[in-house]
Amino acid sequence: MTPIALQLLSLHCYPSFFTDLVTAKLLFKCLGVFHSFRIGESAMVRGLPIITIARNSSILIGDSAYLVSRSRNTALGVNHPVIIRTLKTGATICIGSHFRGSGIVLCAASGITIGDRVTMGANVVVADTDFHSSDPDIRSSMTDARHAKTAKVTISDDVFVGMNAVILKGVTIGRRATIGAGSVVTKDVPEGTVAAGNPAQIISSSVEN
């Protein structure tokens, strides 16, 4: 038997492939009963993501999304499954076509909009909320979450976000920008630039537009 034939018959590869197909179909079929969840054609998952939708909020995922929740399916591994959550009534998460993400977290209390052909490296976090009040007295109370500051996040077309980066509330990242690995983005990043560091700063122009 040739090496190619051996590779094609590999039991290490194919069971997970078929499991992923079944997982994707079942997950998206179950979520599809909610009018607040939509996913485009040809979406693929590797491992089971965590998706939760608050009442009267929405999650929209474009065509050909690729979501990796298992370490063996990505070079760097992932700290946890993909997590996509709306946290409050009226919140929206809208992801464009050909999105790719491994072990990412998207949490929206207001709104997160991601353009087409965006790639996010392992364990990227995007959150449009502080989750807690900055006032320690409120933070210790039952009303803490209601006082957390929120502001929408926009990530434009063709953006690349490096592994372990964190994108915080109110940020807009322009098209074709690159965010360096491990960066903490607290301010807008202009189109076609590279930003890196904590807090992230513009360090150079990006690839040719």
CA angle 54–56–58, rounded 5-degree value: 75
* Residue 132 bears catalytic tag: yes
Give pLDDT < 50 ranges for the chain.
1-14
**What is the predicted pLDDT for the residue at 26?**
62
**Residues 80, 98, 132, 147: which is the catalytic one?**
132
**Encoding tokens for residue 149?**
């500051």
**What is the predicted pLDDT for the residue at 177?**
97
- Residue for token pair 């094609």: 8
**What is the predicted pLDDT for the residue at 25?**
59
Residues found in the chain: 209
Q: Sketch out the chain's domains with CATH numbers.
A: 12-205 (2.160.10.10)
**What is the predicted pLDDT for the residue at 13?**
47
**What is the predicted pLDDT for the residue at 47?**
87
Q: How far apart are CA 113 and CA 181, in angstroms?
A: 21
Question: What residues have CB less than 8 Å from 50, skipping those under 6 apart?
Answer: 81, 82, 83, 84, 85
**What is the predicted pLDDT for the residue at 35?**
58
Q: How far apart are CA 178 and CA 81, in angstroms?
A: 24
**What is the predicted pLDDT for the residue at 108?**
97
**What is the predicted pLDDT for the residue at 1?**
40
Q: How far apart are CA 208 and CA 101, in angstroms?
A: 23
**What is the predicted pLDDT for the residue at 80?**
94
The closest alpha carbon to 39, from 94, 105, 89, belongs to 94
